[in-house]
Chain A
């Protein structure tokens, strides 16, 4: 099988690559494009460590083919900060110590950003259900939920 040529946009930049027909978007990001911020925790859609957005929708990049990104807008953790400025979620995660090992963190941040774009004032329960597809084994989620709620609170005030 020959490789497929893909033209896509990643974090706002035009990107082209060749990939195998059965290659996941996650593998393309990590192994072909050097965007290793998205992690593989399971490869089966169960952990959310590979979370990215595709045309604004939150997806597990391990469940999507690289070829399917053609013509789409892909958003990854590497695109969260704007220049020198961390995204408010990134700042709050740091302030609240919402990470221990940090391997789940990119996925949580991408997922939480996607939540706040849809719902700028989520309840604790809404945060917990939105993030239920992201596994964190270190923190018990307490500080992650607080960081997201605090971000929403601050962004509302701003």
Chain B
């Protein structure tokens, strides 16, 4: 056997990477200067408002806009008739404006632009729509039943052979796994099998969707919007409006949270279309209830999990079925759920099946590690139960079966260097793990996995004449990524952090940049930043060589200076970046570095969470007493923002576990579209969230970075369910684990005792 290759990054001493400087956009954000989606206006601007379907499922016979259009101050109305069919973005088009049917309560059916918001709202009421109300379905299991109302009569389930003859609400079936699970279960001493349900949660970003669009008479468009991916917004909008891509310039505003939910378009094409019709800028901002009803929450799910193990704690087989409804269009994250479900374990026999189901709910959008948290809730609940039944410490049990480098993942590929074992070891070693617990208190563990992602990336780095640097990236900064980019550029160039200023450019200024999703920004834009800085350094070395009249490869870059590479190269005073930049005009013109790539080598991130809860036996209320997040960051560029991702992900998981849910009435309407009734965690619900940053470098990134944004939401629901089980002796299998449900479980357990 060959020795394992050494991680080059491990030996590297970093100068600024790993420090915690103030972010470059910080002052703007603490003074109220930063401009978010709704914070801009334009001369002559009109306000756009959307009319939404009150019915969860209805055929639209006719739309009469005459009375609304006659209202003084109303300047334009758009309906389905304004948008041409679009093969490439068929579902997006149908989602932003209902076509033959309204498919969920809140589905847009018309939009009005008027001189004031009040006029637009008043006019909305005058639009007459002739609906033919159809039966609806919002539950995933009911949607799969034979007699369910069908949303799309052309939907024939893909991924089954032979293809079904009849349409259904199942868009696709997915299968993953290897080995022989029946054989594996036959070898097990203990088998646990359970069914689970999770409700849809919303990303809950505090900033509602907002945009300002302007289209001129000659067909040029400008769009300002809060989005995680302005390049994707540009391409989709240009297509829906039949514009050339070069004629639409999109600028990403500061973004008030996204978590995956701002990766698609809702208002933007409507605003552009109304601007085209009126020749005036159009501003649109969603109300909070529109955000809940008509943006993209995550899927609700139903699942079944079976895991078997031998007495000494070796898992012999694992099998699961996942059913995810992703709203009115195909594309629920069930595939990712099925792939991630058992990714933490090295398994000989594993099988997962997933069903992508449509229902009369808003089309889901990505939410932090899309699909993985629901699967982890089910799997990690069963894993913990199995460990306890076997009398093995839950962390030990996970360690005995943990996936590591070289293992075949449950969904196919072999793992490169990964850090799950390190997170479990860190959990075991943590003081929290053995801290005493009081009455009605319990501790739970959960592990989780997310792939992370690379994606097309383009970065420019411009060296100014005074030796300071502008770093131009195309990935919107959602959580402090400009600070990380500054750090990596400064590290690579050998200059102080505050000599770099990172900006997020508009779509005309850089090549295509994939959306800020998949935990990809610090990995991919970071990698491109480092490579762009290397290109700029090479250019600086070439300029120094020219000045010194020596060969370019006789010059090296060290400590922020060009230096002769050795004694043979000659004896010259080192030149700093500023020295070289100052006279750049005389040595060939401005100096900059660029890098464009679709980088492979994103490093998966694993986490293990540990949580203590106290369950009130009289009310069923669960209090989070202590929470420790342990996650592999690869390399933490700015540790404070890494911790922030860990903490934020964990707390979103707390909300999903205990409170948050889309509540539907029999009428198919969402009953809690506001922050009062859709209750996200508040400050007084929580303790401090402890973090441990594990650093197992990713060999695919020059500094070892893995993404950290998403994995943090994967383990909490299971960890909390496991803690509740330890505290109250009841196994919760449905999210959210709200007081009435926990109380009922306790009462049922007492009744049967």
List the interface of chain A (C-beta within 8 A of B): 20, 30-31, 35-44, 46-47, 49, 76-78, 80-81, 86, 90, 93-97, 99-106, 109, 124-125, 127-129, 131-146
A102/B675 in contact, CB under 8 A: no
**How many residues of chain B are within 8 Å of chain A by beta carbon?**
59
**Closest 5 A-B residue pairs measured CB to CB?**
A37-B32, A103-B256, A102-B29, A140-B651, A97-B640
* Chain A residues in 8 Å Cβ range of B35: 36
Min Cβ gap B712→A in Å is: 9
Q: Evaluate whether A90 and B31 lie within 8 angstroms (CB atoms) in the complex, with A43-B287, A128-B684, A135-B682 already known.
A: yes
A109/B688 contact (C-beta < 8 A), A135-B675, A141-B651 known: no
| Cβ A103 vs Cβ B207 within 8 A | yes
Contact B30 A46 (CB under 8 A): no
Q: Are A94 and B30 in contact (CB under 8 A)?
A: yes
CB distance from B73 to the nearest CB of A (A): 14
Q: A31-B41, A41-B207 are in contact. Are A137 and B652 (CB under 8 A)?
A: yes
Known interface pairs A43-B288, A46-B676, A94-B30. Does A36 touch B479 (Cβ–Cβ under 8 Å)? no
Q: Are A94 and B22 within 8 A (Cβ)?
A: yes
Q: Can you list 25 residue pairs at the A/B interface with Cβ under 8 Å?
A: A36-B38, A41-B206, A43-B288, A46-B675, A47-B206, A90-B27, A90-B30, A94-B23, A94-B30, A100-B257, A100-B644, A100-B648, A101-B257, A124-B688, A127-B683, A128-B683, A129-B683, A131-B684, A137-B257, A137-B652, A140-B647, A140-B650, A140-B686, A141-B681, A146-B688
- A103 contacts across to B, CB distance below 8 A: 36, 205-207, 254, 256-257
Q: A102 and B254: CB pair below 8 A?
A: yes
Q: A residues within 8 A CB of B36? A: 36, 39, 103
Q: Which residue of B lies closest to A23 (CB)?
A: B118
Point out residues on B near A: beta carbons under 8 Å.
Answer: 20, 22-23, 25-27, 29-36, 38-39, 41, 118, 203-208, 254-259, 285, 287-288, 478-480, 638, 640-641, 643-645, 647-648, 650-652, 674-676, 680-686, 688-689
CB closest chain-B residue, reference A87: B30
The minimal Cβ–Cβ distance linking B206 to chain A, given in whole angstroms, is 4
Output the least CB separation between B569 and chain A (Å): 43
Q: Is the CB of B30 within 8 A of A143?
A: no
Residue of A30, A86, A102 touching B256 (CB-CB under 8 A): A102
Q: Is the CB of A20 within 8 A of B118?
A: yes
Q: Give bound CA distance, A49 to B256, whole Å.
A: 11
Residues of A within 8 A of B259 (CB): 137
Known interface pairs A137-B204, A141-B683. Does A46 touch B674 (Cβ–Cβ under 8 Å)? Answer: yes
**Cβ of A132 and Cβ of B256 under 8 Å apart?**
no
Least Cβ–Cβ distance between B716 and chain A, in angstroms: 11
Q: Determine the distance from Cα of A144 to Cα of B648 in the docked complex, in whole angstroms.
A: 12
Using Cβ atoms and an 8 Å threshold, which residues of chain B touch A35?
A: 32
CA distance A43 to B676 in the complex (A): 11
Interchain CB contact under 8 A, A97 and B31: no
Contact with A145, one of B39, B254, B683 (Cβ below 8 angstroms): B683
**Shortest distance between the CB of A134 and any CB in chain B (Å):** 7
User: Which of A78, A124, A128, A132 is the most central at the interface, judged by chain B CB atoms within 10 Å of its CB?
Assistant: A128
Compute how far the CA of A145 lies from the CA of B685 in the bound complex, rounded to whole angstroms.
13
The CA of A154 and the CA of B70, in the complex, are separated in Å by 62
B25 to chain A, nearest CB (A): 8
The smallest beta-carbon distance between A45 and chain B, in angstroms, is 8
Q: How distant is the Cα of A134 from the Cα of B675 in the complex, in angstroms?
A: 11
Contacts of A109 in B (CB 8 A): 30
Known: A41-B288, A100-B641, A137-B259. A47 touches B648 (CB 8 A): no
Tell whether A139 pairs with B648 under 8 Å between CB atoms, given A36-B32, A103-B207, A128-B683.
yes
Q: What's the nearest-Cβ distance from chain A to residue B442, in Å? A: 21
Nearest CB of B to A11, in Å: 11
Which of B203, B285, B288, B684 is in CB contact (< 8 Å) with A129? B684
Given A46, A95, A102, which contacts B22 in the complex, CB threshold below 8 Å? A95
| Closest chain A residue, CB of each to CB of B256 | A103
User: With A101-B479, A103-B36 as given contacts, are A40 and B208 in contact (CB-CB < 8 Å)?
Assistant: yes
User: Which of A47, A81, A139, A145 touches B675 (beta carbons < 8 Å)?
Assistant: A47
Interfacial chain B residues near A47, Cβ < 8 Å? 206, 675
Q: Complex Cα distance A44/B674, Å?
A: 8
- CB contacts (< 8 Å) of B478 on chain A: these are 100-101
Complex: how many Å from CA A133 to CA B680? Answer: 11
Contact A143 B647 (CB under 8 A): yes
Rounded to whole Å, the gap between the CB of A52 and the closest CB of chain B is: 11
Q: Pick the contact of B648 from A127, A129, A140 — CB < 8 Å? A: A140
A30: chain B residues within 8 A (beta carbon): 38-39
Cα–Cα distance between A99 and B39 once the two chains are bound (Å): 18
Task: List the B side residues contacting A93 at CB < 8 Å.
Answer: 30
A43 and B206 alpha carbons, distance in the complex (Å): 11
A44 touches B288 (CB 8 A): yes
CB A32 to nearest CB in B, in angstroms, measures 11
- Distance of A114 Cα from B34 Cα, bound (Å): 22
Q: Which residues of B contact A77 (CB under 8 A)?
A: 31-32
* Pairwise interchain contact B686-A141, C-beta atoms closer than 8 A: yes
Which residues in A have their C-beta under 8 angstroms from that of B674? 42, 44, 46
Q: Which residues of A lie under 8 Å from residue B681 when comparing CB positions? A: 140-141
A104 contact set on B, CB distance < 8 A? 206, 256
A131 to B686 alpha-carbon distance, docked (Å) = 12
Picked from B23, B206, B640, B684, the residue with its CB within 8 Å of the CB of A137 is B206
Most buried by B among A38, A42, A131: A42
Q: Which residue of B lies closest to A20 (CB)?
A: B118
Residue in contact with A100 in the complex, picked from B39, B480, B685, CB distance below 8 Å: B480
Q: How far is A106 from B644 in the complex, measured between Cα atoms in Å?
A: 18
A146 to B26 Cα, complex, angstroms: 17
Query: In this complex, what residue of A is CB-closest to B638?
Result: A97
